[in-house]
Structure formats: structure tokens, C-alpha cells
């Protein structure tokens, strides 16, 4: 599920596995190039997490709303924090 690079980046950037799981389940998708996809929390994704998981989980995710995950070939390749808008299309 995770590449070695992704595990290192998760640790370096303090992104817990539960956030990666929520990104994959509720995040919005955009092409990342080279056949990969980027998953991130947009406004729609945030609302879906709040509705399904509740306010308590949403408060705990406060520092993770900018996180993103890149997936290619069914594996998480890398993850990080967004500082710019993600271009779709």
C-alpha cells in the first residue's frame, strides 16, 4: 500500500496513517502526471468527512486539511502539505 518513500515522508511531515486513509476515502482527485492521482481535502471533501465522522474527528483534523497524497499503480507514492492551489484538468 505504501512505498518506502511514502513512509519516510509521512514520518517527516507528521501525517498519520488515518489521515491518508481519510484522504483516499473522502478526498477529491486530480491528475498528478505520469499516471498518478493526487488526493486532497477540498471544501466538498471536508464537508463529507464532517458529516460522516462527526465534529470530534473534524476538530482533530484541523492541522491536516492541507495534506495531500499521491497514488500511482495502487500504491501511495508520497504525501505532503499543500501551499498552492491544485490545478485540475
Q: What is the pLDDT of residues 75-89, one digit of tens each?
A: 999 999 999 988 776
Q: What pTM did the predictor assign?
A: 0.91
Cα radius of gyration rounded to whole Å, the chain: 12
The pLDDT of residue 71 is 97
| Contact indicator for 34, 20 with CB cutoff of 8 Å | no
Using one digit for the tens of pLDDT, what is the confidence trace for 14-26? 999 999 999 999 9
First and final C-alpha spacing in the chain = 26
Bridging pattern class, strands 75-81 and 28-33: unpaired
Amino acid at each position: 500500500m505504501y512505498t518506502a518513500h511514502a513512509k519516510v515522508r509521512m514520518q517527516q511531515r507528521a501525517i498519520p496513517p488515518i489521515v491518508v486513509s481519510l484522504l483516499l476515502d473522502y478526498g477529491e482527485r486530480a491528475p498528478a502526471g505520469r499516471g498518478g492521482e493526487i488526493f486532497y481535502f477540498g471544501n466538498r471533501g471536508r464537508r463529507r468527512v464532517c458529516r460522516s465522522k462527526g465534529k470530534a474527528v473534524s476538530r482533530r483534523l484541523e492541522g491536516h486539511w492541507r495534506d495531500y497524497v499521491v497514488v500511482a499503480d495502487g500504491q501511495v507514492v508520497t504525501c505532503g502539505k499543500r501551499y498552492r492551489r491544485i490545478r485540475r484538468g
